[in-house]
Amino acid sequence: MAVEAHVTERSAESAARIQRHAGIDRLFHWVTAVAVLALLATGLLPVVGVEFSWVTIHWMTGLVLTLLVLFHLVRSLFWQRPKCMLIRPRDVSEALQAARAKPGEPVRLPGKYTLAQKLMHLALGLAVVVAVVTGVIMLAKIDTPFWKRDPYLLAAGTWGVVYLLHGLAALATLTLVMIHIYFGLLPEKRVYLRAMTRGWVTREELGAYHDLERWPGRRAGRS
C-alpha cells in the first residue's frame, strides 16, 4: 500500500512537471557561460595588471563562443519558438500595469519569459554578438597556426572603431553578467536555476509568475 501511494505520488508530481529548457539548451547555456567568463577573465585581468600569456586562450575561446552563438541562432530560429523571446509593446504595458496594481487586482502574467528576462537576453545577446563580430575581425591582427597576421586589412581609423566596440562590448557583458548571476542565485529565483540545471518546473511554480495559457510548456520526460 505504502509503495503504491508513493508511486502514485511520484507520478502525479512528474505529470505536473513542465520542461522549461531542453537538455541541449541547458548545455548551450552552461558552455556559453564558461566561455564568456573565460573570455572576460583573459581579456580583462591583464588590463588590471595580472600578467600571463592570455592571447591564445582568448582567441581560441572566442572561436568556440562564435560557433556556440551560431548554433544557438539557428536552433532558436528553427527549432525553438522565437516569438517567446520577442519584446512587444504589450509586454511593457502589462509589466507597468502589474507593477502599479493594488493587491488582489487581476493582472496579465507573461508567457515563457518575463520582460526582465527578455531584456536581459536582448542586452547580453547584443553585447556578446558585438564582441564576437569585432573579435572575429581582430583575428586578422594575430599569427595563428592557420593564418598569418594582416594588420593592413583595415585602415588605422577603422581598427580604432573595432577595438573600441570590442572593449565596450566586453565591459557591457561584464556588467550584465554580474547582474545576471546575482539574480540567478537569489533564493526566490531558485525555480529558474533548477530549470536551467535539471530542465523542469512544476505547473504550480510556473503559474505563480507566468500565464500557463500563454506558455503551457512541454510535459517533462525523465529529468
Q: Which residue ranges make up the site for ligand HEM (CB under 6 A)?
A: 20-21, 25, 29, 32-33, 36-37, 69, 72-73, 76, 80-82, 84-85, 112-113, 117, 120-121, 124-125, 128-129, 177, 180-181, 184-185, 192-193, 195-196
- What is d(CA 66, CA 92) in angstroms, rounded to the nearest whole number? 31
Distance of closest approach, residue 145 Cβ to ligand HEM, in angstroms:
27
Q: Which is nearer to ligand HEM, 164 or 185 (CB)?
A: 185
Min dist. Cβ of residue 147 to ligand HEM (A): 25
> Would you state the cell numbers that stand for residue 77, as one nine-digit string?
530560429
Comparison of 98 and 126: residue with beta carbon closer to ligand HEM: 126
CA distance 18 to 51: 47
Calpha distance 146→127 (Å, rounded): 27
SS3 state at 6? helix
- Which residue's CB is nearer to ligand HEM, number 6 or number 81? 81
Say how far apart CA 120 and CA 181 lie, in whole Å.
Answer: 11
Residue whose C-alpha cell is 580604432: 160
Q: Smallest distance, Å, CB 198 to ligand HEM?
A: 11
Q: How far is the CB of 161 from ligand HEM (least distance, A)?
A: 21
Q: Which C-beta is closer to ligand HEM: that of 75 or that of 108?
A: 75
DSSP for residue 144:
-
The CB-of-133 to ligand HEM minimum distance in angstroms stands at 10
What's the chain's Rg over C-alpha atoms? Answer: 22
Whichever of 167 and 184 has its CB closer to ligand HEM, that residue is: 184
Nearest CA to 172 among 136, 138, 137, 122? 122
